[in-house]
Amino acid sequence: MTGKQIFLRNKTTYNCSGKLIDISQPQVMGILNITPDSFYDGGKYEEESVIIHRVSNMLNDGADIIDIGAYSSRPGAKHIDEKEELQRLINALSVIRKQFQHAIISVDTFRSNIASYVVREFQVDMINDISAGDMDKAMFETVAKLNVPYIMMHMKGTPQNMQVNPSYDNDVVFEVIDYLAKKTAKLNQLGVHDIILDPGFGFGKTIDQNYEIFSRLNEFKMFELPLLVGVSRKSMIYKYLGSSADEALNGTTALNMLALERGAGILRVHDVKEAKECIKIYNKINQFKQNK
């Protein structure tokens, strides 16, 4: 049996430019926002030295993947053109690839031209698309040619309008699953099987809708694909608790533990050390469950 055959049968093992990620063990994706207006850490990571320090800290804390975003997707964020997004990425990736050659890098973009460029020029390992191909119809065919794992998220609308009275005709979980199922089928037809699913917490959902989806994460196991959960310091936590993003680490950790229990394979977080500790405790508990 060849390595490729093993890969195709085991949807938890993904090949990232020759580096294997085994998502049967939960992974941590550390967030690097190189935007001036992200909801939590916008404007912090623009200087080269600060970027190096941030990535170094995340890797030292145990990050398995570094996810770089140059387009702010917070609710109501300013739209920027492709040229500006690409320039931000070039500046950051030039530094990161020089300093951290073996790091597994994901780029958070919905633009197919940018996806092609960063994979070709910087050997980016994964593409993370908040729009699941809806904001750039060429993305699916591009990902098929790039042959890198593709993170596909559900979003209702665009970052500019997604939180303007989000509503669903049917059961919100059914609609998200149905949306991702149709997208997965299209990708499979193009020969793309290296897919990771993201329900899109905070992207076109009310607080109650976010928590309903979270409570039913087990239903996403039907896909037999890795599930990424990104709730780090989001408003579904701090608005519900009446606090702020700066005060939302405790709530984030609570949800991350519940996400692991419901089958999450990747936790996308700002706080890597705390997420790794969460996984370590989760694995310790599971050790005794498996021994029964």
Q: Which residues are catalytic?
A: 234, 268
User: What residues have CB less than 8 Å from 181, skipping those under 6 apart?
Assistant: 223
DSSP annotation of 217: G
Pairing mode of beta strands 228-229, 195-198: unpaired
Which of 209, 103, 225 is closest to 166 using CA atoms?
209
For 44, 96, 102, 278, the CA distances from 105, given in Å and listed in that order, are 19, 9, 9, 22
Q: 208, 199, 207, 215: which is closest to 255 by C-alpha? A: 215
Amino acid type, 37 = D
| Opening angle at CA 203, ends 149 and 199, nearest 5 | 45
CB atoms within 10 A of CB 274: 18
The 126-129 sheet, strands edge to edge: 195-198, 150-153, 126-129, 105-108, 65-69, 27-33, 266-269, 228-229
